[in-house]
Chains A and B, each alone.
Chain A
Amino acid sequence: MEPETPLLWVLRDSIGLTGTKYGCGIAQCGACTVQIDGAAVRSCVTPASQAIGTRITTIEGLSTDGSHPVQLAWTEFDVPQCGYCMSGQIMTAAALLHKQPNPSDADIDTQITNACRCGTYHRVRQAIHRAAGMHS
């Protein structure tokens, strides 16, 4: 494919990993969030060429069976409604917890900027605190 093809479309259309979603194409919503070398990255504006030689983790790779603490916490709090934003939310949350194992509410405010049209923020916040608690 063309090297400027956004990583999001390589993942979805060329590789067939459809867990990462398209929401805006302009890095505004976070639905496309993957991890590149452990950092949360919006793949809709990341040219695939920039990803060569990096370690890319998508939602499918976060765990083999939904057992990542963030996924467990999300299930415990029954977080998703329509679920479309959730891959991006979870990848962002997992990246945050990797950097800051015990984030404050203020940390969550500034680091979890993903859009959720169903308005699940209440439970996302609780689940992140819970996932942080699972490590300690």
Chain B
Amino acid sequence: MTNKPHDQQDTPKTEGMTEMDRREFLTTTAVVGGAMVLGFWLPPRSAQAQTGVAAEPWYRESLVPEINAWITIAPDDTVTIRVGQSEMGTGVFTSNPMMVAEELQCDWSKVRAEYASANRNVREKAPEWTLKVPGEGLSDPAGGGAPVMLGNANGVYRRMSTNSSGSVREGRYYLQLAGAEARERLLLAAATLWGVPASDLVAKDSVITHAATGRRTTYGAMAARAAQIQLPDPSKITIKSPDQWTLMGTEQKNRDVPLKVTGQAVYSVDVRLPGMLYAAAKACPVWGGDVRSYDFNAIKDRPGVHSAVRFGGPRTRESAVGGGSRTSGGHVSGGVAVVADTWWRAKTALDAMPIEWDDGPNATLSSADMRQAHFAAVEDPSAKERIVIDEGNVDAAMGRAATVVEATYTLPYVGHAPMEPGSAIAIVTADRVELWTGSQHANSALTAAAREAGIAPEQVFVHQMFLGGGYGIDNGNTRANQQAVAVAKTLNGRPVMLMWSREEDWGFGLRPRPMGLGVLKAGLDADGWPIAIEVRTTGDYSGDQATRGLTASPYFVPNYRFESRPRRFHVPFVQRRATGSSINCFYVESFIDELAHTAGKDPYLYRRELIARNPAPPKPGVGGFNQRDNWLKALDMVAEMSGWGRPLPEGWARGIAIDDRRRTTRPHTTVCAQVHTVSVSRRGQLRLHRVDVALDEGFSFVNPLSVRKQVEGQIAWGYDDAMYQEVTIRDGHAVEVNFDTYPISRMNEYPREVNIAFFKTNKWLYGTGEEAIPQVAPAISSAVFQITGKRIRSLPLRHHDLSWG
């Protein structure tokens, strides 16, 4: 067709929008049974934006020299940096390459990022000299900080998990070493070529110069030589400290953004392979259950339907009440998948297929039952697992207190609710597995796929995608990967994309943050200061997640007792953004607010006084409250920023809260204090107007812009936990499985004003992916109390009548 159709010529240009015109198209849709034809104009596959990230971000074998496993360099100086963490919005595809590029001293505008290979991580080991963390730990700005999760992660890409706020904390030192080593080898290559000492050369922006003679060359020209050269003693390599950084510590836009604003970014659900089939799956929604029977004959003649595949059964695990159901490899529930030529056909066929479930022994459990069990557990003197902190003599102090304050707090199960549903694409042949997935744990995805397929890990290849949200959802789990591999095994090497419906994703796929019960009691002296505090908690968590923030009170009190008794059910809980802090901080910050009110004192000043009373200097080491001065800094900063104390209209109030996400077995903290300015109408309509955040940046962030975005997003997350979110269990399964019953707040509720300020402290941070969440709910609840007189001891707020006056 050469002439523009008539109506297109007359149509006014509409801001660059490209119209689809029926008469200028390629018909790509087959007519099926005379049903219909849709004509579409296919836009040409957009040229890869100059973003430095491929739309399909997985690892590629390099055609240009690989200097080390992390870095390849092309003749035109394009540097490809491999990323071991998963891009789910926290910006690792930018910040991880920044850590390498800082040391490499390459042209940052020519850096592209791609995922590292989990398969290579199985086959190759990291160089021995990279295993030692340089420097003196947490307080040494010149060193590599204090990684705590590397354990025996000695594969060439080291840690390939993205959780625990740990991308920078765990990976910074070896990423900096990788960049530095490559730089030194490039310099050595030029030095050798020119017959001059490497120390006479300068490397900057991918250019190497020899000042004395004016000779220059580029990384691209030296790459092949550098790839062959080894340093005589790489253990002498040092990494830059923050005062030497030129790229790290600067605001950088996330490099995948151009892909994400044009619809080009490929998520797991978007992968399309030749000959690919689609599968929709249902697993027994009562975790630990199985399929009893299904009737494929009822659906096999529907158009496009290929087969049904059972997975995970017969009963794969014991699932007794109280035994918990955390997966460590087996399928959480058995189920069945329907395979068809489109996902819609697979899903609708699956919905139509009669299935009988064997729900197992947990099929009668409800949230009410669990809550009752919690109340019994928190008192249970015979509980086997019990953590006890007992300082001073709490009972005696309570006995002589002028006032005793008691409060019981309850929190529900809450889900991750990512927007992308669980999915994976798998190809299984006799001796190989290919898996396309968006996983927070590429290593675990690989080993789980290997186990499911019965194939050696060295023959499993995981192609990582962008994730449409992570938030901890597949910690310890591999989402739909196992099911995809199970189905692919039946297809003789044909690819299959298995995808969960939203209802499956938030129903069976639920891996919630635990529900919790906290029973707190304080004895106050005549001036309202605590002389004894007792905290008793129960919930699914044990260990560090149960105790974080509670093994030592940040508010000075001479007598303190803390008891934690885990009580689990069959619900497959897992980590979720802010983990145990999101529970324990609600207890602590709500309770201190109650004490301040009982004492007739301002919530900010009451906290300040009690924090300041902690002995100086703060004890170093893990677990205990050792951040006194940093807490005071954060609290004072946020009080000033927010105008604390300035008059507000009637029906308005400010709530304050602070936390540092410290945990019993790690020394790191990230201190964050927040003030939430809230109004509640007399009829009980709550509005969050403004949030002020003071955030610890330690010695320095890597990418402050990404951190800012994270805090902005965490405010929405914490708000949703405070206001709306709750998963109830009925008949052993999750009830709220779509947006209509599990609400996510929208634009109209997001605060119109958000102020975020950073302050430096003399340490390396815990991280920033979760650290601004725990404060939100207690701060909002405090404001609600100040306005309405109603004390909030359970979430979500939508269950409370907030009317007042």
Contacts and interface: CB of A to CB of B under 8 A. Distances in A.
B261 A55 contact: no
Interface in B31-50: 32, 35-36, 38, 40-44, 46-47, 49
B88 to A, nearest CB: 5
Interface string A104-129: 01001110111111111111110000
A62 B750 contact: no
A15 B35 CA distance: 16
B492 interface: no
B258 interface: yes
Interface in B405-445: 417-421
Interface in B703-755: 705, 709-710, 712-717, 738-740, 744, 746-748, 750, 752, 754
Contact of B739 (A2, A29, A61, A122): A29
B233 interface: no
Contacts of B713: 81, 118-120
Interface of A: 1-3, 5-6, 9-10, 12-26, 28-29, 31, 35, 38, 48-49, 51-53, 55-69, 71, 74-75, 78-87, 90, 94, 97-98, 105, 108-110, 112-125, 135
B715 A119 contact: yes
A110 to B, nearest CB: 7
Interface in B7-54: 14-22, 28-29, 32, 35-36, 38, 40-44, 46-47, 49
B746 A121 contact: yes
B20 A122 contact: no
25 contacts: A1-B35, A1-B342, A13-B343, A14-B29, A17-B42, A18-B266, A22-B502, A23-B502, A25-B502, A48-B38, A60-B262, A61-B18, A61-B20, A63-B17, A64-B44, A66-B46, A74-B261, A78-B705, A80-B89, A83-B259, A113-B748, A116-B716, A117-B471, A117-B744, A123-B712
B36 A48 contact: yes
Nearest to B33: A2
B42 A15 contact: yes
Most chain A Cβ neighbours within 10 Å, of B15, B21, B303:
B15
Given A55-B19, A66-B49, A120 B342 contact: no
B747 A83 contact: no
Interface residues of B, number: 81
A57 B715 contact: no
B145 interface: no
B62 to A, nearest CB: 26
A135 B714 CA distance: 32
B480 to A, nearest CB: 14
Contact of B262 (A5, A19, A25, A97): A19
Given A65-B49, A80-B260, A86-B261, 11 more contacts: A18-B266, A38-B14, A56-B40, A66-B261, A75-B253, A80-B257, A81-B89, A81-B254, A117-B419, A120-B709, A125-B750
A85 B260 CA distance: 9
A115 B191 CA distance: 56
Contact of A120 (B28, B344, B421, B712): B712
Contact of B88 (A71, A82, A119): A82
B689 to A, nearest CB: 13
A1 B709 contact: no
Chain A, interface SS category: loop
B776 to A, nearest CB: 11
Interface string B232-260: 00000000000000000000011011111
A121 to B, nearest CB: 4
Contacts of A60: 43, 46, 262-263
B468 A57 contact: no
Interface stretch (B77-85, B267-275, B550-558, B651-659): B267-275
B220 to A, nearest CB: 27
Given A61-B20, A85-B419, A78 B253 contact: yes
A37 to B, nearest CB: 10
Nearest to B270: A18
A74 B739 contact: no
Given A61-B20, A81-B709, A109-B747, A117 B502 contact: no
B265 interface: yes
Nearest to B253: A78
B466 interface: yes
A134 B433 CA distance: 49
Most chain B Cβ neighbours within 10 Å, of A2, A20, A109:
A2
